[in-house]
């Protein structure tokens, strides 16, 4: 029997969020980021949807992710942000590599020429993330030298903000200035290339960073990196799990490992089929809620490997006569007036919505269901 979480993805919500992002950017080309299995939402289905909506390009972290999409029939351009696929992969799967250092560019160029072809690439610049890329000013000779490599065509330049949530825009503006200044210096040499730096936060809150294309990830899945519950966005993921058992414990009994919760009253304890092996963080022990019958019920005791416990006393006492006992609960999503967002879970777990979505989305034994897009 499948025991793990049921993950429902609303493709309609992703469509809405994508179109919202496009509208904010005045319909600039969009490089839609579907790395990490589309932030846990299932990269193939999300890519199919976005392709149907005419997305300019998809962005992934590694070539293995791009190959998975190609093998599933995705034909849209795919940019590979973080690794260095060899020429055969680049040609066979029509990948757009991102060049972060000169050696890879040279190898790619030589190999492309040997195959009588020219490969389109984008160039990564490090304006303040301190991760990948050529540093403007310091590495500028190397950037200039890329134009001499006849096996590659520099189709674009990119950079990435280190303030992903833009709570503070000061440094983002410094990065943007560095990027735009580089663009001006390279204008004659690399005319016609696409300059892009806008992640979700910049797509929403830093219009001057939209430049030639936007590159949103998180917002496509319905979350605003800066603030909770932006009504313009629609969270696409709902996570449910089964209630395996409901038991009645008297007051004064401990629940779960380490006896971190002791009943204060006669308590109806629901044992629910999700644990830390399913990406439900153990730090949420005694700190999160589930939704049952449209009402919030607290998680009690430690989150176990495969199951957790919730106090269903109030929910069940409020259940109308004749209504059957609940057999399902919601960990992420909404029902009735109750909402549990990835931001709620993230703040209780001292992390960010990105991590909640990706960890729930890669549950060991999950079932995805997709609601169609209009």
Ligand X SMILES: *Cc1c(COP(=O)(O)O)cnc(C)c1O
Q: How far is the CB of 175 from ligand X (least distance, A)?
A: 13
Number of residues that bind ligand X (CB under 6 A): 12
Scanning 7-15, 69-77, 216-224, 312-320 for contacts with ligand X by CB under 6 A, the matching segment is 216-224
Distance, first Cα to last Cα, the chain:
33
Using the rule CB under 6 A, which residue among 97, 128, 133, 225 binds ligand X? Answer: 225
Q: Does 233 bind ligand X (CB under 6 A)?
A: no
Q: Which two tokens stand for residue 106?
A: 């040279």
Identified binder of ligand X from the candidate list 17, 25, 109, 200, rule CB under 6 A: 200
Nearest to 360 by CA among 242, 277, 270: 277
Q: Which of residues 11-40 bind ligand X (CB under 6 A)?
A: 33, 35
Q: Say whether 159 sits in a helix, a strand or coil.
A: coil
Among 18, 81, 134, 261, binds ligand X (CB under 6 A): 81
Q: Can you tell me which of 28, 183, 215, 240 binds ligand X, judged by CB under 6 A?
A: 215
Q: How far is the CB of 315 from ligand X (least distance, A)?
A: 35
Query: Which x/- pattern over 272-301 shows residues binding ligand X (rule: CB under 6 A)?
Result: ------------------------------
Give the strands of the sheet with 57-60, arranged side by side.
31-33, 57-60, 78-80, 95-99, 119-124, 152-158, 194-198, 213-214
Asked if 284 and 348 count as a contact pair (C-beta separation under 8 A), the reply is yes
97 binds ligand X (CB under 6 A): no
- Tell me if 134 contacts ligand X by CB under 6 A: no
CA count, 13 A, side-chain hemisphere, 150: 4
Structure token digits, residue 104: 């890879």
Q: Which residues pair with 367 in a beta bridge?
A: 6
Task: Report CA Rg, the chain.
Answer: 24
What is the smallest separation between the CB atom of 196 and ligand X, expressed in angstroms?
8
Strand spans (E) along 159-236? 194-198, 213-214
Site string for ligand X, 174-193 (x = CB under 6 A): --------------------
Structure tokens at 367: 């079932």
Our CB check for ligand X shows the closer of 172 and 290 to be 172
Contact 126, 132 (CB under 8 A): yes
CB of 76 to ligand X, least distance (A): 16
Beta carbon of residue 352, minimum distance to ligand X (angstroms, whole number): 10
Q: Please state the φ and ψ torsions of residue 153, each to the nearest 5 degrees.
A: -115, 125
Q: Tokens at residue 229, please?
A: 């519950």
User: From CA 44, how far away is CA 61, in angstroms rounded?
Assistant: 15
Binding mask 244-263 for ligand X (x = CB under 6 A): --------------------
- Under the criterion CB under 6 A, does residue 84 sit at the interface with ligand X? no
Q: Is 99 in the site for ligand X (CB under 6 A)?
A: no
Q: Which of the residues 35, 124, 183, 240 is marked catalytic? A: 35
Q: Which stretch binds ligand X (CB under 6 A): 185-193, 214-222, 297-305, 360-368?
A: 214-222
Q: Which residue is nearest to ligand X (CB)?
A: 217
Instruction: Give the separation between CA 83 and CA 358, rounded to whole angstroms.
Output: 20
Burial of 3 (0-12, 13-18, 19+ CB in 10 A): middle
Least CB distance from residue 106 to ligand X, whole Å? 23
- Tell me if 4 sits within 8 A of 188, measured CB to CB: no
Calpha distance 44→72 (Å, rounded) = 7
Please select the residue that binds ligand X; options are 4, 42, 151, 216, rule is CB under 6 A: 216
Report how far apart, in Å, the C-alpha atoms of 161 and of each of 32, 62, 174, 198, 263 are.
16, 19, 10, 8, 47
Active-site residue flag, 221: no
257 catalytic? Reply is: yes
Candidate segments 48-56, 209-217, 302-310, 323-331, binder of ligand X by CB under 6 A: 209-217
Among 42, 217, 235, 256, contact with ligand X (rule: CB under 6 A): 217
Distant-in-sequence, close-in-space partners of 89: CB < 8 Å, separation ≥ 6: 63, 67, 95
Q: Which residues are catalytic?
A: 35, 257
Give the footprint of ligand X on this chain (CB under 6 A): 33, 35, 81, 160, 164, 199-200, 215-218, 225
């Amino acid at each position: 029997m499948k025991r793990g979480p049921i993950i429902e993805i609303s493709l309609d919500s992703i469509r809405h969020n994508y179109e919202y992002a496009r509208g904010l950017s005045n319909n600039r080309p969009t490089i839609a980021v579907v790395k990490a299995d589309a932030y846990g939402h299932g990269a193939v289905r999300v890519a199919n949807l976005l392709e149907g909506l005419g997305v300019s390009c998809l962005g992934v972290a590694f070539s293995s992710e791009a190959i998975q999409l190609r093998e599933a029939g995705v034909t849209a351009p795919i940019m590979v942000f973080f690794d260095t696929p060899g020429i055969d992969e680049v040609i066979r799967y029509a990948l757009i590599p991102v060049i972060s250092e000169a050696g890879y560019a040279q190898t790619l160029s030589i190999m492309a020429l040997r195959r009588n072809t020219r490969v389109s690439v984008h160039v990564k610049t490090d304006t303040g993330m301190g991760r990948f890329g050529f540093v403007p000013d310091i590495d500028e000779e190397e950037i200039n030298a890329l134009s001499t490599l006849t096996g590659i065509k520099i189709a674009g330049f990119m950079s990435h903000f280190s303030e992903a949530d833009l709570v503070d825009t000061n440094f983002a503006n410094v990065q943007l200035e560095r990027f735009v200044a580089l663009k001006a210096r390279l204008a004659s040499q690399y005319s016609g290339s696409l300059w892009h730096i806008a992640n979700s936060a910049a797509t929403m809150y830093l219009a001057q960073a939209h430049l030639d294309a936007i590159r949103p990830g998180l917002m496509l899945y319905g979350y605003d990196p800066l603030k909770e519950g932006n009504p313009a966005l629609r969270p696409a993921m709902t996570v449910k799990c089964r209630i395996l058992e409901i038991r009645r414990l008297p007051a004064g009994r401990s629940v779960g490992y380490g006896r971190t919760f002791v009943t204060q009253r006669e308590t109806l304890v629901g044992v629910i089929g999700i644990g830390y092996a399913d990406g439900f963080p153990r730090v949420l022990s005694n700190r999160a809620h589930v939704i049952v019958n449209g009402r919030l019920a607290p998680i009690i005791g430690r989150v176990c490997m495969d199951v957790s416990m919730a106090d269903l006393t109030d929910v069940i006492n409020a259940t109308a006569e004749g209504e059957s006992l609940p057999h399902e609960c919601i960990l992420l999503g909404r029902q009735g007036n109750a909402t549990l967002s990835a931001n709620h879970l993230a703040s209780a777990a001292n992390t960010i919505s990105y991590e909640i979505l990706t960890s729930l989305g890669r549950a060991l034994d999950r079932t995805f269901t997709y609601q169609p897009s209009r």
